[in-house]
């Protein structure tokens, strides 16, 4: 009876292939004294020429397999095993990784095998497979270019473009330890919302589908961002000056004002979800609309806990009872997050901690709710008083009713900061 191949060892200098499957989980291998012939045997025996055991072991969550190699030679002077040219000591066990090279022989001459992890390859191939209804439009590559708590982002190609195929990405979400079937259902809203938001500063969706085959997956093809996200960018440049802040902010605010007009809140606005379209650092786009909410639609699944990142979450959410949280998620939460980002971009600091204070979840929540937003870190960096006031007295305002809107900030840029960029 045939069963799925989990590990494959291909002879490099000798025509021989060894496979391990759920039915055949181990083999002994070796070479004879002359190393002209490789040997395999199904039983665990340490009689010459067999001296090296290879076997499969299920990992703790029983979802994948490890392939392990162990030297069992009783006469290690005569028989040796090398993994990637390092001697495997007698009785020592080692996990094998894809493309590891295994040599068995007498120390001078060897039979060489290369290990192929067919299980992982099979899982990844199943994960990136393009469903039939989309395979004339998109091609996915086995090339991971990013990942988050809920998804993996793979390089892909839009092959139906006029002319040559255009590079894009495919974001793949699947039910897993991090994504329950309830959160999967919510995450499926991401492309639907994005499809209704065509704007230069919002990531563009090229196509999407839910594939109900095993594994159940959501596939979202999006335009490729070639630059870094603002978290990496700020780590590199430390802080931005107020001219660059205005340049960055006006793009974020254009996107926010556009989506807030439609009563859509992003709910996870933070530097890592804002990306440069390319390395020229001209165009920024908001990404990751996995938590976005259309506040016009009454959803039967009410949010009872904070969704998003606590550091960027406003006081009304931190302070709310579970039954009240859902209704408090409005576009104004993004304005607060924009204020925290602005403070961070200009100072490299967060407004909720004193210098030297360590990050602590409870302290953070307490400070977000109660602490007055400090002006000194901004003033210390010679930021214009009009910008200091905007961030601390109009944006980072505890009561969402009194918080300025995206459009209000854009108007403030024009009327008070006198800039039209």
d(CA 58, CA 61): 8
Are 206 and 198 contacting, i.e. CB atoms less than 8 angstroms apart? no
Residue 225 as a binder of ligand ATP (CB under 6 A): the answer is yes
Which of 97-105, 125-133, 147-155, 336-344 is the region at the interface with ligand ATP (rule: CB under 6 A)?
147-155
Are 44 and 50 contacting, i.e. CB atoms less than 8 angstroms apart? no
Residue at shortest CB range from ligand ATP:
148
Q: At what angle do helices 332-347 and 230-237 cross, to 10 degrees?
A: 20
Q: Fill in the per-residue mask, 192 to 211: x = in contact with ligand ATP (CB under 6 A), - = not in contact.
A: -----------x--------
Nearer to ligand ATP, 20 or 341 (CB): 341
Residue 272 as a binder of ligand ATP (CB under 6 A): the answer is yes
Nearer to ligand ATP, 153 or 259 (CB): 153
d(CA 53, CA 60): 21
Q: Which of residues 76-135 bind ligand ATP (CB under 6 A)?
A: none
Q: Is 171 annotated as a binding residue?
A: yes
Which of 143-151, 205-213, 322-330, 394-402 is the region at the interface with ligand ATP (rule: CB under 6 A)?
143-151
Indicate left, alpha or beta for 303 from its phi (over 0: left) and psi (-120 to 50: alpha): beta
Which of 60-68, 105-113, 146-154, 259-267 is the region at the interface with ligand ATP (rule: CB under 6 A)?
146-154
**Number of residues counted as binding ligand ATP (CB under 6 A):** 20
Which of 127-135, 139-147, 237-245, 299-307 is the region at the interface with ligand ATP (rule: CB under 6 A)?
139-147
What does DSSP say about strands 26-31 and 38-41: parallel, antiparallel, or unpaired? antiparallel
Residue 224 as a binder of ligand ATP (CB under 6 A): the answer is yes
Nearer to ligand ATP, 104 or 179 (CB): 179
Residue 145 as a binder of ligand ATP (CB under 6 A): the answer is yes
DSSP 8-state code for residue 365? H
Among 1, 149, 358, 401, interactor with ligand ATP by CB under 6 A: 149
Whole-number minimum distance, CB 108 to ligand ATP, in Å? 49
d(CA 211, CA 132): 10
d(CA 377, CA 349): 8
Whole-number minimum distance, CB 285 to ligand ATP, in Å? 8
Q: Which of residues 156-185 bind ligand ATP (CB under 6 A)?
A: 169, 171
Residue 146 as a binder of ligand ATP (CB under 6 A): the answer is yes
Residue 148 as a binder of ligand ATP (CB under 6 A): the answer is yes
Residues whose CB is less than 8 angstroms from the CB of residue 5 and which lie 6 or more positions away in sequence, other chains included: 19, 20, 21, 118
Residue 334 as a binder of ligand ATP (CB under 6 A): the answer is no
DSSP string spanning 153-194?
EEEEEETTSSSS-EEEEEEEEE-SSSS-HHHHHHHTHHHHHH
DSSP string spanning 321-363?
-HHHHHHH-STHHHHHHHHHHHHHHHHSS-TTS-TTPPP-HHH
d(CA 264, CA 331): 6
Among 71, 100, 211, 288, interactor with ligand ATP by CB under 6 A: 288
Chain residues that interact with ligand ATP, rule: CB under 6 A: 145-151, 153, 169, 171, 203, 222, 224-225, 229, 272-273, 287-288, 290
Q: What residues form the annotated binding site for ATP? A: 171
């Amino acid at each position: 009876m045939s069963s799925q191949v989990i590990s494959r060892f291909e002879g490099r200098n000798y025509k021989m292939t060894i496979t391990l499957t759920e039915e055949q989980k181990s083999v002994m291998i070796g070479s004879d004294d002359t190393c002209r012939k490789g040997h395999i045997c199904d039983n665990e025996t340490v009689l010459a020429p067999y001296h090296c055991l290879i076997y499969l072991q299920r990992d703790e969550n029983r979802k994948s397999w490890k392939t392990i190699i162990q030297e069992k030679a009783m006469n290690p002077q005569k028989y040796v095993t090398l993994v990637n040219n390092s001697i495997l000591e007698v009785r020592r066990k080692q996990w094998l990784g894809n493309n590891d090279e295994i040599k068995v022989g007498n120390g001078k001459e060897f039979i060489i095998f290369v290990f192929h992890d067919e299980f992982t390859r099979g899982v990844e191939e199943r994960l990136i497979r393009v469903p039939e209804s989309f395979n004339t439009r998109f091609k996915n590559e086995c090339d991971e270019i990013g990942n988050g708590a809920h998804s993996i982002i793979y390089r892909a190609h839009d092959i139906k473009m006029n002319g040559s195929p255009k590079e894009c990405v495919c974001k793949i979400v699947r039910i897993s330890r991090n994504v329950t079937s309830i959160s999967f259902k919510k995450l499926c809203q991401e492309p639907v919302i994005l499809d209704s938001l065509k704007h230069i500063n919002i990531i563009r969706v090229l196509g999407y589908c839910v594939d109900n085959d095993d594994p159940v997956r959501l596939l979202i093809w999006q335009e490729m961002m070639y630059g870094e996200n603002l978290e990496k960018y700020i780590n590199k440049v430390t802080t931005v000056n107020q001219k660059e802040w205005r340049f960055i902010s006006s793009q974020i605010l254009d996107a926010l004002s556009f989506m807030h007009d439609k009563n859509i809140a992003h709910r996870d606005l933070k530097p890592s979800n804002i990306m440069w379209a390319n390395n020229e650092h001209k165009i920024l786009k908001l990404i990751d609309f996995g938590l976005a909410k259309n506040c016009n639609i009454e959803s039967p699944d009410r949010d009872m806990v904070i969704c998003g990142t606590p550091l960027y979450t406003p006081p009304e959410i931190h302070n709310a009872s579970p039954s009240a949280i859902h209704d408090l998620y409005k576009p104004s939460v993004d304005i607060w997050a924009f204020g925290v980002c602005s403070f961070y971009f200009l100072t490299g600091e967060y407004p909720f901690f004193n210098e030297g204070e360590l990050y602590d979840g409870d302290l953070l929540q307490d400070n977000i709710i109660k602490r007055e937003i400090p002006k000194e870190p901004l003033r210390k960096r010679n930021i214009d008083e009009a910008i200091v006031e905007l961030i601390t007295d109009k944006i980072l305002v505890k009561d969402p009713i009194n918080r300025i809107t995206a459009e209000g900030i854009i108007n403030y840029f024009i009327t008070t900061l006198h800039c039209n960029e």
